[in-house]
Structure 1
Amino acid sequence: MKIKQLGLTLVEVLITLALGAILMTTVVSVYISGLSTNAQLRESSRLLEDSVFVTSQFTEEFEMAGYFARLDDYMAATPAAVPDVCSSSWVASVATLEQKMAVPISGYNDVASGFSCQGVTVLAGTDVVVVARRSTEDAVTLDSNTFYLQASPINYVLDSGANASNFDLNDYATGSPLALGAFLVNIYLVDASDSILKRLRLEGANFVLEPLVENIEAFEVDYGVDRSNDGAPSDTSVGADDAYVSILATVADWQDVTAIQAYVLLRSEEAVAKQTDTRRYFMGKAGYFGPYSDQFKRRLVVGNVKLTNIAMRRQ
């Protein structure tokens, strides 16, 4: 009597293993591909969020440059030289803030390695922008260490909260005291230690460092110069017949700036598989950056902002 054998032959086992290996390879490949796609989407999403934040931050800040409440003539204390706010010897005082008030926008171009601004080492080759303005929020109570501005169309008082009695300007129509607002000086730079775009914000007599956006590859700024005194950037001998320049030398030139073109090159936090960045990024007067030929994703943010408070006084 023949006994019927149950089970698989060696050939069948080998075929099963081969098919299983093929299936497993396919599953693993799909899984890895999904991880890569997810990583790309995650990094793209983060770059998009950062670009929106940078655009919003710079638009608001630059539009408000030179906002000094109701004051028409803010150049009364025009200094002989551009205030070097980044210098370690620069200290906030009524005199130095009045000088910065007369030059509400200024900057440093393509800084050298080791350049320091108020104790922060700036990433070499990037730019630094300094903005002066009054806060849009009226002060309710005064801090003795903070500087405030009270202004009418023809006069102003700039002093610390410790001298509250000096703020004696009244509204012409009602006779009530005019509102006060904190005097702001904000410095935008890229920290060399961590490649983070940061803001140095004047608080009292000192600067407070605030991180804004991580993984900055490059930060470049061009300035639109108005030579026709109509509020719009125009051809200028300063820039060899170009309305936008990367740096200016004199106080008068800086006072003619009515627009800013800012370029920020963002980089993903992590490398992304199956991608090589071979693109070149145009960043105004600084020229092209790249190709980097690596696996990081990048996004170039370009913003042209009219310095509304400065430009409108010329229209």
Structure 2
Amino acid sequence: MKKLTQAIRPQSSGFGLIELLVAMAIGMLLMGATLKLYLDLSRSHQDMARVNQQVEAGGVAIQVLREDLLHAGFWNGYVPEFDDLTYAGVPTDYPTAVPDPCLAFASWTATEKTNRLGMGIQLYEDVPTGCATQLPGRVAGSDVLVVRYAQTCVPGSANCAALNVADAYFQASQCDTDTARYSVALGASGTLRRRDCATPAERRQWVNNIYYLATSSDGMPTLMRSSFSEGVQQPAEVLIEGVEAMRFELGVDQVSDAGLAVGLTSAVAWTNPQVRTSPTNRGDGAADALCRAAMPCTLADQINAVTVKVYLLIRTLNQSQGYSSGKTYFVGDPSDSDAEFGPFSDGFKRHVYTTSVRLTNISGRRETP
């Protein structure tokens, strides 16, 4: 019986060579498919990270420029005579020339200060004369924007730097008996007063920011900003990498609400002198024409700018393997021959970001009921 049981029991002989090779081939196929899936997921993740970085860079760049432009022309209650609808005389402070944005404070004359107060922004197609040291390595085809205002916080208050005697500060008078309407001076104590003619008026730091694009040491196009500090325009510092092209359009207020040309060098003329709700030779705060750096923008264009449209071409910091695109990008008005960029075949993904900013401090004081 024992021998019979052993005879009918199946014998285990293991895998044969062919079976082993088939199993190995199936295993290799599964491993290859798994590896390909992993690599595809990893590449997709890296691609998504690059795009997210690009979106973040574009959003931050737009936000930085937008916030600065919203403050352009803020002088803490002071309004130049030529833009003050309550001033009845002939204005004496209309800017006579475009200021040198990089001139050291020690060289500012009274006229230089007046010109600066009358121009909240300046726009250039290239690096302004006198700014080569502060703005090196400009990217060709990108604009240079100057934004000027008095700091929106008082020195020493929350989130505001303490007063520095080496910095320039703006002070606006609210007292009728003060001999001057404003003061721009280094950080010594100011003499102008508030409405009670006893309390010293606030001093706010002078802001003169210059934005442009430069190429970093590793070849990356970068948004740069030069700030005014300790009486001089400082060398530009890195803000955001990956900004490849930057253009601006100024919306210029050229026509009054009475339909006549703006003329800021003469006294205000009213359609009805008794009611005084519609000046015939002052702007209405709305843009009537566009101005671009390549035109170039005139002195009057920049004084009367009430809106700014920003165009930014942002690229990823790293190339995407196998990526190719035949797209062209318009950084500015498509009707401009030099507004078109691309197509590119370098593996970088790109996107154009735009925003329009109303210069509230300039356009708002021109509005009438």
Does the alignment pair 1:198 with 2:250? no
1:36 aligns with 43
Contact 1:226 1:233 in 2 (8 A): yes
Q: TM-score, normalised by structure 1?
A: 0.86
| Aligned-residue offset at 1:299 | 2.2
2:316 aligns with 268
Which amino acid is the alignment partner of residue 130 of structure 1?
V
Does the alignment pair 1:12 with 2:19? yes
Which amino acid is the alignment partner of residue 145 of structure 1?
A
Does the alignment pair 1:183 with 2:190? no
Summarize the Cα distance change of 1:107–1:244 in structure 2 as closer, same or farther, 3 Å threshold: closer
Summarize the Cα distance change of 1:16–1:152 in structure 2 as closer, same or farther, 3 Å threshold: same
In 2, distance between residues paired with 1:58 and 1:249?
A: 19
Relative to structure 2, which stretch is displaced further, 139-148 or 43-52?
Answer: 139-148
Contact 1:137 1:181 in 2 (8 A): yes
For structure 2, the 5+ residue unaligned runs are 1-5, 83-91, 157-161, 175-179, 256-282
| Aligned-residue offset at 1:177 | 1.5
Structure 1 counterpart of 2:286, from 220, 232, 251: 232
Residue 137 of structure 1: SS of its match in structure 2? coil
Structure 1 counterpart of 2:239, from 179, 187, 212: 212
Structure 1 counterpart of 2:301, from 215, 231, 253: 253
Structure 2 counterpart of 1:278, from 323, 326, 340: 326
1:287 aligns with 339
| Aligned-residue offset at 1:119 | 4.7
Summarize the Cα distance change of 1:119–1:109 in structure 2 as closer, same or farther, 3 Å threshold: closer
Q: Which is richer in strand?
A: 1
In 2, distance between residues paired with 1:129 and 1:33?
A: 43
Structure 2 counterpart of 1:144, from 160, 165, 173: 165
Which amino acid is the alignment partner of residue 310 of structure 1?
I
Which amino acid is the alignment partner of residue 46 of structure 2?
A
| Aligned-residue offset at 1:7 | 2.4
| Aligned-residue offset at 1:258 | 0.9
In 2, distance between residues paired with 1:310 and 1:79?
A: 15
Does the alignment pair 1:91 with 2:117? no
Compute the RMSD of aligned alpha carbons.
2.5
* Larger-gyration structure (1/2): 2
2:278 aligns with none
Summarize the Cα distance change of 1:312–1:234 in structure 2 as closer, same or farther, 3 Å threshold: same
Which amino acid is the alignment partner of residue 187 of structure 1?
I
In 1, distance between residues paired with 2:201 and 2:127?
A: 41
2:123 aligns with 107
| Aligned-residue offset at 1:208 | 4.7
Number of aligned residues: 300
| Aligned-residue offset at 1:158 | 0.9
Which string of whole-angstrom CA distances, capped at 9 and with x for unpartnered residues, describes residues 150-172 of structure 1? 113681111111x42xx222122
Contact 2:213 2:244 in 1 (8 A): no
In 2, distance between residues paired with 1:292 and 1:146?
A: 45
Summarize the Cα distance change of 1:179–1:26 in structure 2 as closer, same or farther, 3 Å threshold: same
1:170 aligns with 193
| Aligned-residue offset at 1:245 | 2.9
Which string of whole-angstrom CA distances, capped at 9 and with x for unpartnered residues, describes residues 196-228 of structure 1? 101101111231533211012111111111101
Q: TM-score, normalised by structure 2?
A: 0.74
Does the alignment pair 1:313 with 2:365? yes
Summarize the Cα distance change of 1:311–1:272 in structure 2 as closer, same or farther, 3 Å threshold: same
Summarize the Cα distance change of 1:187–1:84 in structure 2 as closer, same or farther, 3 Å threshold: same
In 1, distance between residues paired with 2:201 and 2:135?
A: 36
Residue 82 of structure 1: SS of its match in structure 2? coil
Q: Which is richer in helix?
A: 1
Residue 26 of structure 1: SS of its match in structure 2? helix
Summarize the Cα distance change of 1:97–1:211 in structure 2 as closer, same or farther, 3 Å threshold: farther
